[in-house]
Amino acid sequence: MIDPEHDLPIKQQAEVLGISRSTVYYEPRPISDEDLRLMRRLDELHLNYPFAGSRMLRGLLWQQGLEVIIRFFEARSDRD
């Protein structure tokens, strides 16, 4: 896609492809083991309670000793 060794500067390569330069340099952060464990538990709860919203799921997690904020649900749902 983007070739840093190419004669054409990265800025112009990005323009030709119609992408922003920040996309060229973006490196995703790895997901922590704790987040993966929590996401797995959320999936299990969601399968058992498909009608549950984020607040109910948070309450179910709190009952199991896992403290989670609503923003966690919103941030993780974007990754699906």
Helix then strand then coil, in percent of the chain rounded to 5, is 60, 0, 40
Structure tokens belonging to residue 35: 């987040």
* pTM for this prediction: 0.54
Residue 22 DSSP SS3: helix
Q: What is the pLDDT of residue 78?
A: 54
Q: How confident is the model at residue 73 (pLDDT cuts 50, 70, 90)?
A: low
The neighbour count for residue 58, using CB atoms within 10 Å, is: 20
* Cα separation, 23 vs 6, whole angstroms: 18
At 33-47, the pLDDT tens digits run 988 888 888 889 889
- Confidence label for 28 from pLDDT (cuts 50, 70 and 90): confident
SS3 78: coil
pLDDT, tens digit (0-9, with 9 covering 90-100), for 2-20? 888 888 988 898 999 999 9
Could you tell me if 45 and 59 are in contact, meaning their C-beta atoms sit under 8 angstroms apart?
no
